[in-house]
């Protein structure tokens, strides 16, 4: 199964600034996903990042606010732009990879973002 790391693990940012979160996978994967998990809530898919093409955003999320890069099959970044306190959340990178019995989704450790 894929091993995923994220940087930073946490950050406290000022309103109006931007933060770029990095996701690194130890193997080549086709599909990478970015999720948001607000306090006490479940995971909400922000976008799917495919190498060599533009990210596909879910309803309610736009590229200007959450630009994503996917330069190769092991790396992706998510930028949270022009942050407001409502963006305070845990941001999780995940990948689809071959598990014990089929394709499974594995999660990185997450980035805990607090916007003041």
Shorter beta-carbon distance to another protein: residue 7 or 81:
7
25 near another protein, judged by CB under 8 A: no
The yes or no reply on residue 108 touching another protein (CB under 8 A) is yes
Strand order, beta sheet including 75-80:
4-7, 19-25, 75-80, 68-72
| x-marked contacts with another protein along 78-107 as a string, rule CB under 8 A | --------------x---x--x-xx-xxxx
Binding status of residue 13 toward another protein by CB under 8 A: no
Q: Which long-range contacts (CB under 8 A, 24 or more apart) does 5-9 make?
A: 5/108, 5/109, 6/91, 6/92, 6/93, 6/108, 6/109, 6/110, 6/111, 7/111, 8/111, 9/109, 9/110, 9/111, 9/112
Nearer to another protein, 17 or 28 (CB): 28
Per-residue binding letters, 26-65, with another protein (x by CB under 8 A): -----x-x-------xxxxx--x-----------------
Interface residues toward another protein, by CB under 8 A: 31, 33, 41-45, 48, 92, 96, 99, 101-102, 104-110
């Amino acid at each position: 199964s894929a091993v995923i790391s994220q940087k930073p693990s946490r950050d406290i940012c000022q309103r109006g600034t931007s933060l770029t979160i990095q996701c690194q996978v130890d193997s080549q994967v086709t599909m990478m996903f970015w999720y948001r998990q607000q306090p006490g809530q479940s995971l909400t898919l922000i976008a799917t990042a495919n190498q060599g093409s533009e990210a596909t955003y879910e309803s309610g999320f736009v590229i200007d606010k959450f630009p994503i890069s996917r330069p190769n099959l092991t790396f992706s970044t998510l930028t949270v732009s022009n942050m407001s306190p409502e963006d305070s959340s845990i941001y999780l990178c995940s990948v689809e990879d071959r598990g014990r019995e089929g394709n499974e989704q594995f999660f990185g450790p997450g980035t805990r973002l607090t916007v003041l």
